[in-house]
Amino acid sequence: MSSESQKDKERLAQAAKTFFSCVQDLASFTNTFIELFNSYMSTHILLIAAREDSNVKDFFEHMLKVVKEMKSVVDAKHAEMQKEPLYSKIAMTVFSMIEKGTDLKALHQSAKEVFTNSQEPVIISVLNSSHILGSLETSLSLLMKCPIMNLQLSDFYRKDTKEQSDATTSEESMSPGPSENSVTNTLKKLEDVLKTENAKNPIRSAADRLEQIVKTLGPDLEVLQKVTQTIKTNDSMVKKDSDK
């Protein structure tokens, strides 16, 4: 095998492993995001599973369904906010309390509750300004058209652990990791699915396409992580303030 051909195989293997990691990260970040979203929006959106035996199409279909559901909630809430801005609600609440002659201590406590309960508009604003849900919907819709949809995550990468028996005590059998045959079979399956028609170098063609798929996921993963962290940080600040 030529060194160039070997490099193409290594590229494909690395792209497959990276895709596997991206899907697991996507599931992890999304589930954290879903938990926060359910907490703030009083929704009951189901979490996403990304096991090795998961079908790629099923995973992305579930992701797309979740994103569309959240986007629908955000769009509806944002429309409501435009009709009645948050500052108007707060001003009306405080003004009403002053009119009733509420004492300063009670006014302060109620004001804290108003701002604490205003987290929903804050989250809506963060999601709306980041455009993360719309971006994810677009990316996932494009990915659904890729030829990898009929594969399982284990077709990209698997963490094989060879079982030990009383008669097998070799160092190789005790070491976890993908076997050589497993890697070869994985690369062959990906090559067959991803190669372009009449490609002069099927392995390189497959590597190019899978690397492009990974690039499609990358930016959305970064934004999703940042948005989730922003919401969690905001949540911590509010809880800290409410405890004072």
| HSE, side-chain direction, 13 A CA sphere, residue 87 | 0
> What is the model's pLDDT at position 167?
37
- Residue 139, classified by CB atoms within 10 Å of its CB into exposed (0-12), middle (13-18) or buried (19+), is buried
pLDDT in tens, the chain (244 residues): 567 788 999 999 999 999 999 999 999 999 999 998 998 888 999 999 988 888 999 999 999 999 999 999 999 887 877 776 555 555 555 555 555 555 555 544 554 554 445 556 667 777 887 888 999 999 999 999 999 999 999 999 876 533 333 333 344 443 445 556 666 777 888 988 998 877 788 899 999 999 999 999 999 999 888 888 877 776 665 555 555 5
Q: Map residue 83 onto helix, strand or coil.
A: helix
Q: Is-contact 119 234, C-beta < 8 A? A: yes
Q: Can you give the pTM of this predicted structure?
A: 0.74
| C-alpha distances in Å from residue 128, one per residue of 42, 69, 187, 234 | 18, 14, 40, 16
Q: Is-contact 151 189, C-beta < 8 A? A: yes
> What is the model's pLDDT at position 13?
93
Residue 34 carries which side chain, given as an amino acid letter?
A: I
Q: Tell how far CA 81 is from the center of its chain.
A: 26
Rg, C-alpha atoms of the chain: 25
